[in-house]
Every structure is written in structure tokens, then in C-alpha cells.
Amino acid sequence: MKQELKKIQEEFKKQLKEVADFAGLSDLEQKFFSRKNGEFTSIMKGLKELTDDVKKEMGQMANDVKKDLEGLFEDKRLQIQQKEMADIVERESIDVTQPLLPKKAKGHLHPITQAQDKMEEIASNMGFVIEDGPELESDYYVFGALNFPDDHPARESMDTFYISDNTDWCMRAHVSNMQVRLMRKYNEDGTKAVRAAYPGKVFRNEALDATHEHTFHQFEAFVVDRNINIGNLVAVIKELLRGLYGREVDVRLRPGYFPFVEPGFEMDMKCLFCRGEGCRVCKHLGWVEMLGCGLMHPNVLREGGYDPQEWSGLAFGMGLTRLAMMRYSIEDIRHFMSGDLRFLQQF
């Protein structure tokens, strides 16, 4: 019996060596350890017929052999498993640079929408209510309420689109038409402070070329409160530009004229590309013209339902179209309204 055990042990080892995969391993297991007629199992069964003394000795020995074989079997199993895994890696290797097919089409948002969204988000976080209003507007809200004298050149048909059969209506030449509308909407008869931003589409009677459009987009905002001063104006705009560009910006005010503010300013921002050294972007000036702004004219506050003795305001406006052109170095303003997918799908 001893010899049989030895023989089986030798035989098992020999055959185990030849096993190359899980199938062979399974066959081997069946052959030797099958409960019904495994070779090893048969020997174990034979133990019953032996005397107690021999049974003990042989039992001990059979157990040792079994342990040894099981150990070898497990090693082999791990070896095969590793090889199988390595094989899968090899066999199923793919081109990781290949894109997903079929290609999934992507949609795009208009670059002005993206610029506007960003501005709206920053302004909203600063406490501004965001609104829009009529694009076809009365002369009153576009000009009269904003301290434009009757004979101001901007009111001429050279600059503004008027509506046939109703000379009091025009396509708004700026989003400033919203100033008086929003003051009246939110100031509870001139008793409450208001912060509002109102980006939108505007229209000027201008011949088209690479730098001129008759339809473009502006972002404007105002703050009315009890004590608004020039320092506040600078701080609010700086904060907005900081949000827009994601870093501190240097700005400067210089005199500028708009009928609805007094004093009025142009604001320049120190060029972000060259930090004021002068480069192509800022036309070697070190500064980039950003926006027009000012303290709200008392006549406008009055039209908005405020007492200008008690209330004061700041307002500022910038071109969203221009902002997008600067941001992406877009060479021709006409692209924005072209509906051309070759342009639109770049954003």
C-alpha cells in the first residue's frame, strides 16, 4: 500500500507537470480525487480493510501524501490562473487611441451665450437681479428717460432703426432702455435700493463690415442706493472683471460722455497679456478699453422714481460681442450672426 501511495504520488506529479489549463487540471482532479473512482480515493477506501495499527500508520502517510498533492495542485492552479489572465490581457488588447464609434454628435452654445452666462453668474452672485426686456422699445425708454436731449445725434435715423407708422417706436440702440424699467419694477416707489443687470440684443443703423454690425449684444448693470460714489463704481466693476478673468485686474477711469451718467467715464483695463508693457492685443498702449460707466444722472434717477437728493446710482455697460471677439481673437464680427456651423461649432 505504501508503494501504491508512492506510485500515485509520483504519477500525480508527473501528470500535473503536463497539465496546461483549467480543463486538464479538472481532469486530473477527477482522475485522482473523484469520489467515485479517483485513484487516490480508492486507496483511501482500502484503508478500511487494514488493521488498526497499520491503518493508523497508513492513514497518517495517506494524509501526508494528500496534503502534498493538494499543495502541488493549488500551486499549479494559481500558475494556470496567472497564465490565463495574462493571455486575456494579450488576446483582448485594444487600440486605446481609437475614438468611440460611431461618433456621437456634439451640440454647441453660441459664444455670446457663453460670455453672457459667465457675466450673469458673476453679477448674480454679487446680488444683481438679471432681466431682459423689450427690444422694440419706445423712444421714451431708449432716449427720453435717459436724459438724451430731443436733438441728440443718436436719435437720428442715421443711428437708430425706427418703426414705420409709429415714430415713437424704435429698435433699442442700447440695453439702457432697461434702466428706468427695472428701477420702477423693483424700487417700490423709490423706496428700495436696486441692483440689476440686463444683457441683451441691440440694434444700430450701421453698414456691415468686418468690424461693424447692426445687431450686437451688450451687458449693462446698475446699482442704486443711498450713497453711491465713484470709488464704489470702480470697485463693483473691478469685482466683475475679476470674476470674468479669474484674477485681479488693474483698471483706470478717464473722462467719457454718455447723457445718462454724470460724471461719465471710459474704463480701461491693464492689458492681461502683457501686463501693461504694450503688445499687439492692447495695440501697444498697455491698456484695453473695456466699458463705459458713470454715476447715474439725476434726471434718470428721477425718471426711475427716485429722489436724486436721497438716492444715487452707478451704471456701466460693455459689449458682449466685443468681449467674445477679444477672448477668441475673432477677426470678423459678421460671423456671430451668420448661422454658419463652421463658426458655431468651434465653441
Partner 1 sequence: MLVSRKWLQDYVFLPDSLDSADLANDLTIHTVEVEEVKKQSEGLEGVVVGKILSIEKHPESTKLSIAQVDVGEEKPRQILFGTLAEMHVGRRTAVALAPTVLQGKEINKIKIAGQVSEGMLCLYQELGLRDEDEPLEAPEFDKDVKLGTPVTHALGLDDVIIDIDNKSMTHRPDLWGHYGIARELSAIYRKKLEKYDPPKIQEGKDVKIEVDIKNPEVCGRYMAVVVDGVKIEPSPQWLQDRLVAVGLRPINNIVDITNYVMYDLGKPIHAFDAEGLSGNKEGQINIEVRFADDDEQITTLDDSEHILGKENLLITSCDIPVALAGVMGCLDSSVHDETQRIVFESAHFDPTNIRRTSMRLGLRSDSSARFEKSIDPTSCEDSLRRAVELTLQLCPEAKVVSNVADAKSFKLSQGPIELSLEFLRRKMGVEISEKQAVDILERLGFEVKTKKNSLLVTVPTWRATKDVSIADDLVEEIARMYGYGNIEAILPTYEGAPPSKSPFKIAQKTARRVLAYEKSFTETYNYSFESPEWLKRIGEDISHYIRLDNPVAKDRPLVRRHLYPNLLSNVANNLHRRDTVKLFEIGKVFHREDPGERIHPTSSDLLPRQDLFLGIAYADKKDQTPFLVVADAARAVLDQMGVEDYIIEKFSMPVDFVHNGRCAQILVDGEQIGVITEFHPVALQRLDIDHRVACAELVLSKIALLAGDSVHYQPIPEFPSITRDIAFVVDASAVHAQIVNELEAASDLIESIELFDVYSGEHVDAGHKSMAYKIVYRSKEKTLTSDEIEKEHAKVLGMLEKKFSAKMRA
Touching partner 1, residues 107-166 (CB under 8 A): 107-110, 112-113, 117, 120, 124, 127-138, 140-141, 151, 153, 156-158, 161-165
Contacting partner 1 (CB under 8 A), which of 98, 106, 246, 247? 106
Contacting partner 1 (CB under 8 A), which of 31, 80, 305, 326? 305
Is 220 one of the binding residues for partner 1 (CB under 8 A)? Answer: no
Q: Residue count at the site for partner 1 (CB under 8 A)?
A: 92
- Give the number of other CB atoms < 10 A from CB of residue 225: 14
Go through the chain and tell me how many residues it has: 347
Is 298 one of the binding residues for partner 1 (CB under 8 A)? Answer: yes
To partner 1, the closest distance from the beta carbon of 112 in angstroms equals 7
Which residue lies nearer to partner 1 by CB, 21 or 340?
340
Interatomic CA distance for residues 235 and 136, integer angstroms: 33
Per CB under 8 A, contacts with partner 1 among 233-252 are: 234-236, 238-239, 252
CA nearest neighbour of 267 among 279, 248, 286, 251:
251
| 305 close to 190: Cβ distance less than 8 angstroms | yes
Q: In this structure, are strands 215-225 and 194-197 parallel, antiparallel, or unpaired?
A: antiparallel
Is 38 one of the binding residues for partner 1 (CB under 8 A)? Answer: no
* 261-284 b/e (C-beta count within 10 Å ≥ 16 → b): beebbbbbbbbbeeeeeeeeebee
Is 99 one of the binding residues for partner 1 (CB under 8 A)? Answer: no
Per CB under 8 A, contacts with partner 1 among 251-270 are: 252-257, 262-266
To partner 1, the closest distance from the beta carbon of 153 in angstroms equals 7
| 190 close to 315: Cβ distance less than 8 angstroms | no
